[in-house]
């Protein structure tokens, strides 16, 4: 029997690396690490390498829509009964999840978060936008109401269902209970108004209807 041995060198091959399927958890800091806040949309500082999008939650399960990633963000409402948050003062936790341009997510079982105490200031006054306007007969226009502290330093969150709009004459508002309403002006020219009520406060907007 003849045994043939074939010899040669075996190359030292490194298997190709498998790209990470997700992002790191990243980080979030509320208002520079302060303990308390009176602004219901506090400044957020965010960081996540390779992130393209981000979303926010008050409980880690109910989320906002996705926003373009930015290291600074100040539009998340911590006193709104939505996205896992609850209305009013108290301890507020904000969770953030990141996503890259390929759809990879930061880990849902290890979300970045931060906590702060929200102290809602006392509601002192209401504002209507617009405060006055010129309209044609039977024209429709949108009005909105907001609440403010005494010095107008802080905006105060309002519950839409507790708002009451009251127009004069044959004008109409729809809906009656909402932060935003559509006003339909009277059928004749003249000076009119619409009132809004909330928490024992009242504010009037003037409407000037011209032919």
- Domain of residue 157, CATH code: 2.60.40.1080
Taking only the tens place, the pLDDT of each residue in 149-187 is 998 999 999 999 999 999 999 999 999 999 999 999 999
Where does a domain end: 89, 118, 147?
118
- Residue 23 pLDDT more than 80? yes
Same domain (yes/no): 62, 87: yes
Query: SS3 of 33, please?
Result: helix
Confidence of residue 16 (pLDDT cuts 50, 70, 90): very low
| Average pLDDT of every residue of the chain | 91
Q: Domain range for residue 138?
A: 125-209
- Residue 134 pLDDT more than 80? yes
Task: Report if residue 197 sits inside a domain.
Answer: yes
Confidence of residue 18 (pLDDT cuts 50, 70, 90): very low
- Over pLDDT 90: what percentage of the chain? 88
Q: Is-contact 90 118, C-beta < 8 A?
A: yes
Where does a domain end: 118, 150, 180?
118
- Return the pLDDT at 60: 96
- Residue 88 pLDDT more than 50? yes
Cα 181 from Cα 113, distance rounded (Å): 35
Same domain (yes/no): 56, 100: yes
Distance from CA of residue 158 to its chain's centroid? 14
DSSP 110: S
Task: Report if residue 20 sits inside a domain.
Answer: no
- Return the pLDDT at 22: 72
- Residue 66 pLDDT more than 90? yes
Token digits for 9?
């060198």
- Over pLDDT 70: what percentage of the chain? 90
Q: Is-contact 116 38, C-beta < 8 A?
A: no
Same domain (yes/no): 57, 131: no
- Residue 128 pLDDT more than 90? yes
Where does a domain end: 94, 118, 142?
118
Q: Give the total number of structural domains in the chain.
A: 2
Task: Report if residue 13 sits inside a domain.
Answer: no
Please compute the mean of the pLDDT values over residues 124-144 and round it to a whole number.
98
Same domain (yes/no): 62, 139: no
Same domain (yes/no): 134, 112: no
Same domain (yes/no): 131, 202: yes
Query: What are residue 194's DSSP bridge partners?
Result: 167, 205
């Amino acid at each position: 029997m003849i045994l043939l041995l074939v010899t040669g060198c075996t190359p030292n091959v490194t298997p190709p690396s498998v790209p990470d399927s997700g992002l790191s958890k990243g980080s979030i800091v509320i208002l520079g690490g302060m303990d308390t806040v009176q602004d219901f949309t506090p400044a957020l500082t965010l960081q996540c390498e390779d992130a393209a999008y981000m979303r926010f939650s008050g409980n880690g399960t109910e989320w906002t829509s996705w926003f373009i990633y930015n290291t600074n963000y100040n539009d998340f409402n911590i006193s709104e009964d939505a996205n896992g948050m609850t209305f009013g003062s108290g301890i507020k936790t904000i969770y953030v999840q990141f996503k890259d341009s390929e759809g990879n997510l930061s880990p849902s079982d290890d979300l970045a978060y931060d906590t702060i105490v929200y102290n809602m200031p006392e509601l002192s006054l209401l504002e209507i936008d617009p405060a006055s306007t010129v309209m044609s007969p039977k024209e429709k226009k949108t009005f909105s109401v907001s609440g403010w502290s005494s010095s107008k330093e802080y905006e105060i969150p309002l519950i839409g269902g507790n708002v009451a709009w009251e127009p004069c004459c044959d004008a109409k508002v729809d809906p009656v209970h909402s932060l935003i309403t559509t006003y339909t002006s009277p059928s004749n020219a003249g000076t009119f108004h619409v009132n809004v009520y909330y928490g024992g406060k009242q504010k009037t907007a003037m409407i000037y209807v011209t032919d």
